[in-house]
């Protein structure tokens, strides 16, 4: 008896079906970079800096106890700057960058207060003092970048002094010597060097710290977004930087007392500058 041979049907089990070749997924860093560069930033108008100042003043009046605390910190920083001028004048211009370096981090509490007012919550000094905790790692990295720029500025300032003067002028006639026509080349060089480093610090940190606080992005993304904002709106951001600079200088004249108010108002205004440039996540469509 012949055994009949029956061919078994092809295996149609799920294991035997041909699986599609998995596509390579982009790395997390690539996705983050793409999303940051796709973030739409606002086109600013010439009136925006004054609008930010007005809103900063409103926030200061709504939570003066928070603002005056940070204003006192700015006041003490001003006196520290004056002490350095009397003891080590070569470091004065470099230490002035401390206002650009420490200012945004010191203003973290003010950003937190403005964010609370924006969301309808009541700001408190206690919560503003710990606003840095959720992003302490990122803040530390960004502070390190700014610190490197600060150290380079200080070294460049010392080089300019060393090339120009054989000995450091005494504090009694320092201003007279520095601003004499014989040292015009020194003044120009010193100012250009200071402007370059101050510009780098401002462009990198104009909206970086509020963005890290608000969106909890990484330091590189925040810095790149700040640079993008300045490149997209160079005129307005230049005016905003000048407003901050001249406001601080004017506030320093009456024994730094103006910093008690100007410091916190500028801090609140910086939050509104960030909010005016980078829309809220739900408002941003890419």
Q: For the segment 201-247, what is each residue's pLDDT rounded down to a tens digit?
A: 899 999 999 999 999 999 999 999 999 999 999 999 999 999 998 99
- Cα 212 from Cα 30, distance rounded (Å): 19
What pLDDT, on a 0 to 100 scale, did the predictor assign at position 31? Answer: 42
CA angle 93/94/98 to nearest 5° reads 105
Query: Which residue, among 230, 232, 219, 226, has the nearest Cα to 205 in the 3D structure?
Result: 226
Tokens 């829309």: give the residue. Answer: 279
Q: What is the pLDDT of residues 51-77, one digit of tens each?
A: 999 999 999 999 999 999 999 999 998
Q: How many CB atoms lie within 10 A of CB 255?
A: 11
Give the pTM.
Answer: 0.79
SS3 percent helix, strand, coil of the chain, rounded to 5, is 75, 0, 25
What pLDDT, on a 0 to 100 scale, did the predictor assign at position 174? Answer: 64
Using the predicted structure, report yes or no on whether residue 106 has a pLDDT greater than 90: no
Q: By mean pLDDT, which of 7-16, 120-129, 165-174 is the weakest?
A: 7-16
Q: Which residue has the higher pLDDT, 101 or 26?
A: 101
What 3-state class would DSSP assign to 156? Answer: helix
């Amino acid at each position: 008896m012949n055994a009949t041979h029956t061919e078994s049907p092809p295996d149609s089990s799920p294991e035997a079906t041909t699986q599609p070749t998995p596509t390579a997924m982009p790395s997390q860093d690539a996705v983050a970079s793409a999303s940051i560069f796709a973030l739409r930033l606002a086109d600013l108008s010439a009136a925006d800096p004054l609008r930010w100042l007005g809103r900063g003043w409103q926030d200061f009046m709504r939570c003066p106890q928070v603002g005056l605390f940070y204003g006192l910190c700015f006041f003490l920083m001003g006196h520290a700057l004056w002490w350095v001028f009397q003891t080590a004048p070569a470091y004065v211009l470099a230490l002035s960058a401390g206002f650009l370096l420490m200012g945004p981090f010191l203003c973290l509490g003010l950003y937190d207060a403005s964010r609370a007012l924006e969301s309808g919550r009541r700001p408190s000094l206690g919560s503003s003092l710990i606003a840095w905790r959720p992003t302490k790692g990122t803040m530390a990295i960004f502070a390190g970048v700014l610190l490197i720029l600060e150290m380079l500025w200080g070294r460049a300032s010392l080089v300019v002094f060393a090339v120009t003067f054989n000995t450091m002028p005494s504090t009694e006639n320092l201003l007279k010597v520095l601003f004499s026509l014989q040292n015009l080349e020194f003044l120009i060089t010193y100012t250009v060097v200071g402007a370059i480093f101050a510009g780098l610090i401002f462009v990198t940190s104009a909206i970086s710290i509020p963005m890290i606080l608000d969106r909890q992005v990484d330091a590189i993304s925040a810095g790149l977004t700040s640079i993008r904002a300045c490149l997209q709106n160079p005129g307005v951001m230049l005016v905003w930087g000048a407003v901050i600079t001249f406001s601080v200088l004017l506030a320093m004249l009456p024994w730094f007392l103006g910093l008690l108010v100007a410091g916190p108002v500028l801090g609140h205004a910086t939050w509104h500058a960030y909010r005016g440039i980078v829309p809220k996540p739900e408002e941003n469509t890419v």
